[in-house]
Each structure stands twice: as C-alpha cells, then as structure tokens.
Structure 1
Amino acid sequence: MSTPGPVLRVALLGCGVVGSEVARQLNDHSTDLAARIGARLELAGVAVRRLDRDRSDTGIDPSLFTADAAGLVARDDVDLVIEVVGGIEPARSLILTAMERGKSVVTANKALLADDGYALHTAADKHGVDLYYEAAVAGAIPLLRPLRESLAGDHITRVLGIVNGTTNYILDQMDSQGTGFAEALEEAQALGYAEADPTADVDGFDAAAKAAILAGIAFHSPVSAADVHREGISDVTTADVASAKAMGAVVKLLAICELTGDGSTVGVRVHPAMIPRSHPLAGVRGAYNAVFVEAAAAGQLMFYGPGAGGAPTASAVLGDVVTVARHRVGGVTGPGGSWYADRPVRSMGQTVTRYHISLDVDDRPGVLAAVATEFARHDVSIETVRQRTEGPDGADLVIVTHQATDEALTATVNGLSQLDTVREVMSVMRVEGE
C-alpha cells in the first residue's frame, strides 16, 4: 500500500494513560490512518509537565518531549492539536492559542467543555477551525457525533444515561453482591476504576460535566456544569438497594437531560434514582456506560460500551483526529456549536419526578393518616405504601409517590421530618424510567 504524500503535523498535549495510548495508536496504525485521511499524520511534539520522568515504555522518540506546551501549540509547523492534559488551565489557554494560530483541536477535556464550551466553540468558529471532543463523554462509545450530526434533522426530547463507570460499578456491586458502599468503593479503587480521591466520581461532578455537554448538544442551548443539579451516591445505603429490589427496581446514578413542558426550557440533573429492572439501563453492569436517547422521529436509541480507560478513550480521540484531518486536507471544517435555541435551564424545584421515601415511624393508630395528610397538604399523590413492623413500637413505612414537582416533594419531606410520629426520614430517592 502506498503512503499518501501530504503530511499533517500533530501536537500532543499530555502523555498519561490516554496520551500515551493515543501516541501508540498513531504509530501502530499510521499506514491505515494515512489511507483513510489522504495524508500522513506525524507527531510534531509531545508536551509533558516533567521531562525527567522515564517514558521509554511509550515508544515515543525522546526528542519529541517538551515542557513548553505553549511554544508547541504556537509552532507554524503544527496543523492539529490533541489535548488530553485535563483540567481548566493551562488547557483552556493552550486550546485558544492553537485556534488563534489556525489549528484544529481534538480534546477529551469534559471539565473544560462543561465550564466553557460556548466560548471554545465561538473561538473555533471565529478562526475557522474544528473543535471535536467525542472522548469527553462515555469513552469509546460513539455518542456526541450521532447527537450532533446523525440526529441533526430530528427533535431530541430526552437523554438519559449512565455516564460514570466508577459509580455504576459501586452500585452494581451493592445490588448484585449485597456489598456496602464503603466496601464497594474500596473494590473499585483496587481494580483501578476509582481514583485515590474518588470525589469527582462519587459526588457526581464527573457525571454533571458530561450531562452539561450532552444537554448543550441535544437541545442547541448553552449549558454549563453550574446549571446541572448534582447529587452523588455517598448516601445510598444497602437498605435503599434492598428496597429497590423489593419493588423490582435497581439504583443507578443517572444523568438526565430533557426538554420540559412546552419545550421552552431544559432540565439537566444528575442524581441516584430507582429505575425498573425492565428498563434497558437497568442491565448495565460493572464499569460500563450507556446512554438512552429519545427523539421524535428516531424513537428510542441506546448507546452502550466501555466509558473509560486508555485504549477506549484513545479510540474516540483518534476517530476525531481522522475526521479533523480529513477536513484539513479538504480545506473545510465540520459542524460547529449550535446554540440557536438558547433555551434557559429550568430550576430543579420545577422538575417533575416521583419519590421513594422511607420513614421510621411510631407503630400506633393515626400515624398513616398523619403522614398521608402531610402529602396531601403539598398536593403530592401517594401511589403505594408498604409497612413493616420493626421492634415492639416502631415500623418502617415506605411510600412511592405519583409525579409531582421536586419543590413539592421536598417540602413534603421537610414536613414529614417535623411530625411527632416520624422518628426519622431514613432515605429519599427519586424514581425514574416509568
């Protein structure tokens, strides 16, 4: 197979787990990539924080490493920039510099895109370059491009997904093995699914950033991570998981992006929820990701696969690199950011949902009536009630509501906690997927 003549020079920012895998795949598949693009890709340099670290196992020519990332992206002989260092700065400045110098950018930086995606797209449009970031959400799963391109002629109404593998592994262990949260987290860390500091995962920050990106693309409106209602899984107990099982459900950390009411506003939230075991997302096991998309014409679509890891993420990065390189060879750019709808993000209080509420109450006449009165006071309808006696004078009361605004449900829970007959509001969890 003959190698095409033109050469595109690539600057790689970052050489960690993902960056080193990107470099390896660029080298190992160079002939195939050249045939697909119509030009040969060549590493111009690799920016790293520390030059004294041993990187002999990467197979990268040592002369390509540099600590001057700003100088690398500004070089005239660089055509494309791949950013996999993560974080807000210096990544933002480096990407903006690259664009100002006429270079297209491929990034996996979900935090930056969720924080400042609108400004980055504006800069890309201004300078006539591409900004692609498939790897920022759900690893190797082709998701963002189908939303941005394949479904561009449709009307997306909802995106519901499991977009964090660490939390899905933890909740899956709690469900399938009866493991407690702390023990499941330790197992996730031992397997490399969770960082030593798991805050970004278990407190929902990672999923919230991805939800902001998904909502912005799906609903053609600027959405940032600050707009996303966020709750993590640290408070999910084995009792919650057992209660979900009793009602034929499973607990998942969900990212939910949806058009609301008449479609004039957008709702974006991340929180644990009970979903029926019959729902396609309920069967997503281990550290895998899956995203369920609902569109007016296409109907229901599901995207499933590994959501993290060096090789899967590098696969998504290289897919974008091929696309961007083809555009470069052809002298064109792909679709940019689409914000024409500019829908505001609705407050969480106005979100309509269902609740599963577990109460520790006195076991005596009149308790259920008092609890029901509190629900009625806030115009929240009860769907089911289940009671189990605990000890000589206490009982567990589990209530599942019909749909109501989150504001009304929250007020109901606050009111319940003030009742003399309610010893403790043991858990509160939303119910989705029905």
Structure 2
Amino acid sequence: MLKDLNIGIIGIGTVGRGVVKILEENKEIICARAGVNLNIKKGVVRDLNKTRDIKIPLSTKIEDIINDDKIDIVVELIGDVQKSYEIAKKTLQNKKALVTANKAMLAYHRYELQQIANDIPIGFEASVCGGIPIIKALKDGLSANHIIALRGILNGTSNYILTQMIQNNQDFFTALNQAQNLGYAEADPTLDINGTDAGHKLLILASIAYGINAKPQDILIEGIESINADDIEFANEFGYIIKLLGIAKKQDNSVELRVHPTMIDKNKMIGKIEGVMNGISVIGDRVGETLYYGAGAGADATASAVISDLIEIARGKSSLMLGFERTPQTLLKLKPKEEIQSRYYFRLSVDDKSGVLAKIASILSENHISISTFLQKEIKHKNAAKILFSTHTTTEKCVKNALDQFKNLESILQNPYIMRIEDE
C-alpha cells in the first residue's frame, strides 16, 4: 500500500485541469514512478459556480491550502506576478514544497525564493518551454559542463507568426490574427510578440546555466512587430531564416543575455523549428551541442512538466533550486548591453538622390562599422529606395550611435530598422 502525498492546486485553469486529468488517467504509471500516491486534496478557484469537468474539492480561499497541515505540496498556477510570489513565500515559510509554472514571477523573484526555501523543494520545469525538460537537462544532465552558449526558440506564438510570414508571404498582422483565431495567441499578445515572455524564460535558464541574477530590465529584449517582407527577402537571399531567439553566451568571466529577432543559418537545427514548437540548442564544453525540441505550451505539455516536478519531489530528490551552492556574485557577471558584439542587418528607407549613400557610409565609418553584404531596392512610384545591408562584427554601442545619427538625416524617410545575425 503506497502512502499518500497530498497536493493542493491554486489555479484550476487550463493547466490546472490538465494536471488533475493526467493524475487521474495515468494514475497507475505515475504512482509506480513516484513511489507514492499523488493525491489532490483540494483546489482553489475564483468562482465556485463555474462548471468544471473535474471532481476534486474546491475552495475560493488560498489559505485553505497554504495553512492545511495535511497538504505536502502546493502547485501554484495563477498568472499574477506579485500574488504568485506571495503565495510562493507563504508556502515555503509553512515548510511545504512548491511547484510553479509562473515564469514572470520567477524572472523577478527566483533568488529570493531560493533563499527562503533553503532545502525545501521547488519545482518549476513548467515555467520554461512547457513539455521540454530543459531545466532538468541543465541542472542534472549537463551539470558537468561549462555552458558555452544557449540559443532558444522560447515562444511558440512568435515562432508561428514568423513561420507564416516566411512560408506563406503573410504580413505580420495577418499572421498574428491567424494565430489568435487558432488559439495560439492571446487576445492581448503583447508579451509574446514583444519578446518579454521569451526574456522571462531566458533569465530562468541563465540562472541555472550561469548563476546570473539578472532582471528583465537588465537585458536586451526586442520583439518581432517591425519585421517585414524586405527583411525576409534579404535573409533568404543570403541563406538565413529569421527566428525570435533567446541567446546566452559565456566569454571569459561574463555572460551576455539577449532576446531579439535573429537571422540564423537556415541549415542550423534550430533554424528548422517551425510553427508553435519550441527548441533550445545548448553547447557544453564537454558534450558539445545538444538540442531540445517539443511543445512549449498547451494544457497537456505544461501539465506534464508540473507532474514531473511532483514525481521528483515524491522521490525525495532535493537540490538547491537554481543548481548553485555558491552565490551568483562569485561566479559570472552580466555583460553590459552596449558591449555585446554581433553582426547586424540594417534596413533604411531613403531619398533616391545623389549624396545619400555617401552620408550613410560616412556615419558607418565614424562608428567603426563595415558593410559585409548590400542590396538596394527602388520603391516604385516614389523617388525613394530601400537600402538593405549586413555588417561585419561590431558592438551594440556602435550600432546604436549610428542609428541615432541616421535618424537625424533628412534623407532617411522612416525609422531605421536593425536585426542581429548569428553565424556561429
């Protein structure tokens, strides 16, 4: 007879219902793997009158779970950052294990929770890329490695939109509308398309890989809203594909962290990941490159990750939440944004008249930026042209200075647009 491990779930939405159903439908194999009977004792919801296709005791009071001495593990599945953090703190202070899927909360408060928890288990596999076990891979499977670099498609919504734009020649807003109609994008898709969601996930992964205690405002985050057909045409012309990537790179004693649209070799494994799928490439100094691919969202995929944490806690496995016994300050430093180095793509709309190219070349030269490839397209029915070019490796600071100077030229008709290029 297996003993019971009692669970309380705060937030019975799409993922919460998925957790309940999987624990019911796969009960035999889950119990066999956990070595205990994972029993959901109670759930907390906002509205008791709402119809739900689950059969567990429900309450509207969070305290009914946090203060219940018979509940061993609290699963937190709400969306609010501060409320989620308060729930997490009270859970750990009451000596209960915690499982959370809230990546935004962890992006801001993961180190505070680690300090409060001490040796109380915290599971958060579901916070990054749904059903892909990337957190366990970094904490356990790759723990013997220095992580040289990590590149990830961390947001399925943006990846779906870019796939539609590239494969079906859709503009951004058409692709976004289609993603919303199919349920891949929220009614308010801001956090997905502006890179914030991917930024939250990258910060969590960077803590595990490098011990970096950074907040979203500390790193470079850009979204996909300004990408157009010219950018896609340029990328295709030179053998690239555009992806919204979360990128982490270690160099000496510093780590650069950034999220932005990226031109990457279309033959790279990560460049072949399409639609709503997620994928993460990790390069370790001993194992080389490994790739993790799968569903990054959805009830079953995310619930599967939640239950994997429950099983791990049931087995009695407990390690420091973020995988480092030393504090981040004794390990690596975050590289300042302006010192990040990359190749860049520029898109400029300019007056089609003599002297314009000379002014552009002068600004690039002043900022130590040299051109690698170049395309010029005439804008029909207008005395204007589009200038598209890529650069050799330069710094973020030099590029930002050049952009500021371009904006002051009367011959520049629209705000210049840049995108970074990954060749490694």
Out of 4, 7, 12, the position equivalent to 1:15 is 12
Pick closer, same or farther for the CA change 1:129–1:418 going to 2, 3 Å.
Answer: same
Matched, 1:351 2:351: no
Alignment of 1:17-416 (within 5 A): 17-55=14-52, 57-58=53-54, 60-61=55-56, 64-125=57-118, 128-260=119-251, 262=252, 264-327=253-316, 333-337=318-322, 338=324, 340-342=327-329, 343-391=332-380, 393-416=383-406
Contact 1:13 1:82 in 2 (8 A): yes
Higher mean C-alpha displacement, 402-411 vs 274-283: 274-283
In the aligned structure 1, how far is the partner of 2:2 from the partner of 2:198? 43
Tell me the amino acid that sits aligned with residue 124 of structure 2: Y
Q: Any idea what SS the aligned residue of 2:334 has?
A: coil
Q: Is the 8 A contact 1:141 1:306 kept in 2?
A: yes
How far does the alpha carbon of each residue in 1:310-348 deviate from its partner, in whole angstroms, 9 at most, with x for none?
001011111111001111xxxx62343325342332221
Report the CA distance between 1:422 and its aligned residue. 4.0
Gapped regions of structure 1 (runs ≥ 5): none
The offset of 1:393, in angstroms, is: 4.6
The equivalent residue for 1:430 is 420
CA distance in 1 between partners of 2:133 and 2:298 (Å): 15
The AA in structure 1 aligned to 2:361 is: A
User: Contact 2:65/2:74 (CA < 8 Å) preserved in 1?
Assistant: no
- Percent of aligned positions that are identical: 33
Instruction: Output the CA distance in 2 between the equivalents of 1:402 and 1:150.
Output: 36
Cα-to-partner distance string for 1:125-170 (whole Å, 9 max, x where unaligned): 1xx3101111100010110111111111110021111100000000
Deviation (angstroms), 1:53: 1.0
Change in CA separation of 1:419 and 1:226 when aligned onto 2, cut-off 3 Å: closer
In 2, Cα distance between equivalents of 1:420 and 1:51: 61
Query: Distance between the aligned counterparts of 1:197 and 1:422, measured in 2?
Result: 32
Cα displacement string for residues 331-382 of structure 1 (whole angstroms, at most 9, x for unaligned residues):
x623433253423322211110111112233444544333222111111121
Structure 2 distance, partners of 1:43, 1:314, is 14
Count of paired positions: 419
Q: Which runs of 5+ in 2 are unaligned?
A: none
Per the TM alignment, residue 425 of structure 1 is displaced from its structure 2 partner at its CA by: 4.8
CA deviation after TM superposition for structure 1 residue 417, in Å? 3.1
1:39-80 CA-to-partner distances (Å, cap 9, x unmatched) read 11111101111111111x22x23xx10111123122110111
Equivalent pair of 1:357/1:425 in contact (CA under 8 Å): no
Distance 1:224 1:419 in 2: 35
**Cα pair 2:114 2:320 within 8 Å, conserved:** no
Q: Aligned AA for 1:32?
A: I
Letter in 1 for 2:204: I
RMSD: 1.7
Distance across 1 between alignment mates of 2:178 and 2:385: 34
Could you tell me whether the CA contact under 8 Å between 1:14 and 1:85 is conserved in 2? yes
1-side partners of 2:277 and 2:219: how far apart? 22
Contact 1:240 1:427 (8 Å CA) reproduced:
no
Call closer, same or farther: CA 1:181–1:129 in 2, change over 3 Å: same
Runs of 4+ in 1 over 6 A off after TM superposition: none
SS at structure 1 position matched to 2:82: coil
Confirm whether residue 5 of structure 1 aligns to residue 5 of structure 2: no
1:156 and 1:187, CA in 2 relative to 1: closer, same or farther beyond 3 A?
A: same
Residue 426 of structure 1: how far off its partner (Å): 4.5
